[in-house]
Amino acid sequence: MRIGVLSGKGGTGKTTVAVNLALSFAQTHKTQYLDYDVEEPNGFLFLQPEVKEQVSVPLLYPEISDKCTLCGECSKACQYHALAQVSQKVLVFPELCHGCGTCSIVCRYGAVLERERPLGLVELGYHGNLRCVQGILREGEALAVPVIQAVRSRAEERSTEGFEVTVADCPPGSSCSVIHSVEASDLALLVTEPTAFGLHDLKIAVRLVRELGLRHGVVLNKDDGSRLIRDYCGAEDIPLMAAIPFDIGIAKTYSKGLPLLEDSRWAVLFADLRDKLVREVPVQKHED
Amino acid sequence: MAVSVGKKDLSGLVDDRFGRCPYFMLCDSEDVEGTAEWKDNPALASTGGAGIAAGEFLDREKVKVLITGSLGPNALRVVQASGVSAFSAPGSMTVLESVRAWATGTLPAITAAGQAHAGER
Ligand code: SF4
Ligand code: SF4
């Protein structure tokens, strides 16, 4: 089973929910927690896994050799304007390059050399029996998708360890980063807060998962008992999977960097959510 | 020479966005009124790197002097590499005034990158 945890924006408690849900699943299933929020990964701060593997994610960018005849084809072909052909040279703007390789294909003079630079990292470790994987985008880099894809291929496509449950902590917002990290989930959990902003962002997230055709449910964080989110879910026919009461204890546990499961009330709450998910989504053994 | 402009009119104002200005006024500095022509900024349609694309366009047009507001770091690199001298005019100047100010040497040269207008429309 693959659960994608989403929120319309940051700061709604998305990582809290994803981390604690993963810990809860780890008690009953072979589970992995994947942090796809590569621009601001913070699940590892709570899980403190022992890191066993660190792999660099490279990005290709061109270097123009002196075989260049200044024909200008490469710059015309680059849709990201990472190349500029002016007077006597071709300029390369590596930070705009998406590493698509088009320039080296169109150059008929073999003048485009492919170079690599580190775009980010994938780290893999264990918190008890919970496998934890995170992607980290290097500071100053803007291309999140290749790092997301590297996490995906390391943990989900090439995995032969047969995980029964994957909890994917997806980036906030509704960009292509989110789509790359949430697609192919069996269920998307949309984390929100009972405020007008929370509702606004929830609507955006709902539109996204509907477009992707994903089953979805809502987790209401900082629940104060108000009707706002409940009424919306009722009207839209979206199941409310869990409500986490507004409680000062959460802020305290959270600020100490401890998973909420240390507190038995939250342990029960997340065990309920886990069991509900197990009932609703069949857990498949991944053989291979 | 080229001036980034908002309107096809010599009494229109200088557009301070280099990569995202709607048009460039191209002319021979010896006879601005007689040779002025307006060209669409081909970079306007691009989603990123507009300053770079606009710089390439000026290179193709064999421009030697550019009057605009400021240049982002990428645009500055392209403009410098193509041997264009860039000058900064305030957005309150008309196109004609800016060219005259340049001719009398009162416009400051752009030697450092200003704020990039990345993604702005
Ligand atoms: S396509 Fe090749 S030869 Fe032509 S400008 Fe680019 S690098 Fe130079
Ligand atoms: S690899 Fe692609 S994005 Fe990068 S410079 Fe070449 S054509 Fe442009």
Express as a percent the part of chain A with pLDDT over 90: 66
For A216-262, give the DSSP string.
EEEEEEEE-S-SHHHHHHHHHT--EEEEEE--HHHHHHHHTT--GGG
Specify whether A109 is located in the same domain as A221: no
CA A196 / ligand 1 centre spacing (Å): 53
Contact between chains at B49 and A86 (C-beta distance less than 8 A): no
Condensed to tens digits (0 to 9), the pLDDT of residues A142-197 reads: 889 999 999 999 988 765 668 899 999 999 876 888 999 998 899 999 999 999 99
Taking CA atoms only, the protein residue closest to ligand 1 atom 6 is A74
Residue, of B24 and A268, whose pLDDT is higher: B24
Tell me, yes or no, whether B88 lies in a domain: yes
User: How far is A263 from B12, CA to CA, in rounded Å?
Assistant: 68
Specify whether A85 is located in the same domain as A169: no
Ligand nearest to the CA of A77: 2
Tell me, yes or no, whether B109 lies in a domain: no
Condensed to tens digits (0 to 9), the pLDDT of residues A73-104 reads: 999 999 999 999 988 889 999 888 988 899 99
Tell me, yes or no, if B78 comes closer than 8 A to chain A by beta carbon. Answer: yes
Condensed to tens digits (0 to 9), the pLDDT of residues A203-260 reads: 999 999 999 999 999 999 989 889 999 999 999 999 999 998 877 556 666 666 566 6
Is it the case that residue A137 has pLDDT exceeding 50? yes
Specify whether A89 is located in the same domain as A130: no
**Could you tell me the CATH number of the domain that includes residue B63?**
3.30.420.130
User: How far is B47 from A256, CA to CA, in rounded Å?
Assistant: 43
- The nearest CA of chain A is from the CA of B39 a distance in Å of 19
Specify whether A97 is located in the same domain as A171: no
Tell me, yes or no, whether A288 lies in a domain: no
**Ranges assigned E (strand) in A70-178:** 83-86, 89-92, 112-127, 130-137, 165-169
- Cβ–ligand 2 distance for A107 under 6 Å, the answer no
Specify whether A159 is located in the same domain as A258: yes
CA A145 / ligand 2 centre spacing (Å): 16
Residue, of A281 and A178, whose pLDDT is higher: A178
Condensed to tens digits (0 to 9), the pLDDT of residues B20-48 reads: 999 999 999 889 999 999 999 999 887 77
Specify whether A31 is located in the same domain as A107: no
Is it the case that residue A54 has pLDDT exceeding 60? yes
Specify whether A174 is located in the same domain as A272: yes
**Residues of chain B scoring pLDDT < 70:** 115-121
Among the three residues A118, A136, A158, which one is the final residue of a domain in this structure? A118
Q: For A113-132, what is the mean pLDDT?
A: 94
Q: Could you tell me the strand order of the sheet in which B2-5 lies?
A: B37-40, B23-26, B2-5, B65-68, B85-88
pLDDT the model gives residue A105: 94
Q: What ipTM was assigned to the predicted interfaces of this complex?
A: 0.79
Specify whether A165 is located in the same domain as A194: yes
pLDDT the model gives residue A251: 62
pLDDT the model gives residue A259: 62
Tell me, yes or no, whether A260 lies in a domain: yes
Whole-model pTM: value is 0.75
* Burial A117-131, CB ≥16 within 10 A → b, else e: eebbbbbbbebeebb
Specify whether A68 is located in the same domain as A110: yes
Tell me, yes or no, whether B120 lies in a domain: no
Domain count along chain A: 2
Tell me, yes or no, whether A286 lies in a domain: no
Closest CA to A45 of A109, A125, A108, A115: A125
Specify whether A152 is located in the same domain as A265: yes
Tell me, yes or no, if A255 comes closer than 8 A to chain B by beta carbon. Answer: no
Specify whether A78 is located in the same domain as A131: no
**Could you tell me the CATH number of the domain that includes residue A105?**
3.30.70.20
Residues 6+ apart with CB under 8 A from A61: A82, A92, A94, A97, A99, A114, A115, A116, A117
Tell me, yes or no, whether B118 lies in a domain: no
Tell me, yes or no, whether B58 lies in a domain: yes
- Cβ–ligand 1 distance for A68 under 6 Å, the answer yes
Tell me, yes or no, if A89 comes closer than 8 A to chain B by beta carbon. Answer: yes
Is it the case that residue A69 has pLDDT exceeding 70? yes
Among the three residues A118, A134, A151, which one is the final residue of a domain in this structure? A118
Give the range of the structural domain holding residue A45, as residue numbers without chain letter.
2-57+120-280
Question: SS3 of A52, please?
Answer: strand
Tell me, yes or no, whether A72 lies in a domain: yes
Give the range of the structural domain holding residue B81, as residue numbers without chain letter.
2-103
Among the three residues A118, A146, A169, which one is the final residue of a domain in this structure? A118
pLDDT the model gives residue A287: 43
**Could you tell me the CATH number of the domain that includes residue A39?**
3.40.50.300
Closest residue to A87, CB basis, from B46, B48, B59: B59
Q: Which H/E stretch holds residue B37? A: strand B37-40
Tell me, yes or no, whether A287 lies in a domain: no
Condensed to tens digits (0 to 9), the pLDDT of residues A2-40 reads: 999 998 776 778 998 999 999 999 999 999 999 999 999
User: How far is A281 from B2, CA to CA, in rounded Å?
Assistant: 63
Q: What residues 4-33 of chain B have any CB closer than 8 A to a CB of chain A?
A: none
- Residue A286 pLDDT class (50, 70, 90 cuts): very low
Tell me, yes or no, if A100 comes closer than 8 A to chain B by beta carbon. Answer: no
Q: Which residues on chain A are in Cβ contact (under 8 Å) with B54?
A: none
Specify whether A227 is located in the same domain as A155: yes
Domain count along chain B: 1
